[in-house]
Amino acid sequence: MSLSIPLVRYAHADALPLPAYATSQSAGIDLMAAIAENVVLLPFQRCLIPTGFSLALPSGYEAQIRPRSGLALKHGITVLNTPGTIDADYRNEIQVILINLGQEPFTIERGLRIAQMVIAPFSHVTWEEIEEHNDAATSERKGGFGSTGLK
């Protein structure tokens, strides 16, 4: 399935490629740091990194901002509010809140792939308030939160 989404590139992202999929089967679009100078992220420090573009998502879609597994495993760098949600009516620059959960300072350079973005449909719900759940799922989960254990 393909979806065309209007994108505005800001001047501070000139010469950077547009966000792109790394492979033909990638679900996430790589986002790059559109920064003028390197940012050194100390252990347990967080920062907001601009990507240099904004989107006009169609109604009924969101963009989810997720960590990159290589940065997380090798350096402890992750997205703080993961997944971050970009709503369809948001038109400002996409920025990513990164945190260094590693033990060493990490340098973010211009063009570094810092996160990935997944475009996904969503549903709005209406609530039907009832007195009690009376289905098979209720009887299977009597233990409450965390009741299924680790194994």
Q: What angle do CA 72, 76, 82 make, to 5 degrees?
A: 55
Q: Say which residue, 150 or 49, is predicted with more confidence.
A: 49
Pairing between β-strand 95-100 and β-strand 77-79 as defined by DSSP bridges: antiparallel
| pLDDT tens for each residue of 110-128 | 999 999 999 999 999 999 9
Q: What angle do CA 8, 14, 18 make, to 5 degrees?
A: 55
Query: Which residues does residue 8 pair with via DSSP β-bridges, in sequence order?
Result: 54
Cβ–Cβ under 8 Å, residues 18 and 7:
yes
Cα separation, 143 vs 40, whole angstroms: 46
| pLDDT tens for each residue of 90-113 | 999 999 999 999 999 999 999 999
If you ran DSSP here, which 8-state letter would residue 11 be given? G
| pLDDT tens for each residue of 41-69 | 999 999 999 999 999 999 999 999 999 99
pLDDT of residue 64: 98
Q: pLDDT-based confidence at 146, cuts 50/70/90?
A: confident
Closest CA relative to residue 31, chosen from 4, 47, 44, 49? 49
Structural domains in the chain, sorted by start: 7-124 (2.70.40.10)
